[in-house]
Amino acid sequence: MSESKILTLSFKAGRATPKDVEEVERYGFSAQEIADRLNRRTRWIDGKNVEARIYLYPSHKRYFIEIVPPKVTELLLLKAGAEKPSGDPAHQKVGNLSIEDVIQVAIVKKDELLTRSLKKAVKTVLGSARSVGLTVENRDPKEVIRELEQGLYDDILKKYEEDWNI
């Protein structure tokens, strides 16, 4: 069994069970370990429908998980409790997020953001928040980006580094 295998599954974020991924056991992997990892990666959007691809490399005893969550804007609006984006984001705000909400969305979207840096991913998500009319910490996300670049959120980012590296 030296070839690779790709499994695709849909599940409720934060609620994957070993039964959902039991097929991985046929290739020598732990269904519990993979279900736990899926749940850790998606716990901040608990209950949302999510798709994942699990790339199995049995001959190397390695695997890689790719999460395909909803769009960034959908996740941000969900976190803010807003139903839809602002038609005029410069003047009409539809909700507010904490910096931790933004970090969590960045982690969930890690596979699509094309950066290895949590800080850069957060900057990207902040830009999306601004474009749909959301504030962050009751301020324009552009201000929060400046503060992020100055290191004001480094302690909070450090708290999430382990989750970013899953």
User: How confident is the model at residue 2, as a pLDDT?
Assistant: 54
Q: What is the CATH number of domain 72-164?
A: 1.10.10.250
Task: Name which of 114, 116, 122 is nearest 148 in CA terms.
Answer: 122
Tell me the domain boundaries of the chain: 5-68, 72-164
* pLDDT (0 to 100) of residue 6: 96
Mean pLDDT by 10 residues, the chain (166 residues): 84 94 96 96 87 95 91 94 94 97 94 92 97 97 98 97 90
| CA separation, residue 17 to residues 20, 65, 106 (Å) | 5, 15, 24
The CATH superfamily label for domain 5-68 reads: Ribosomal protein L11/L12, N-terminal domain (3.30.1550.10)
Residues listed for the chain: 166
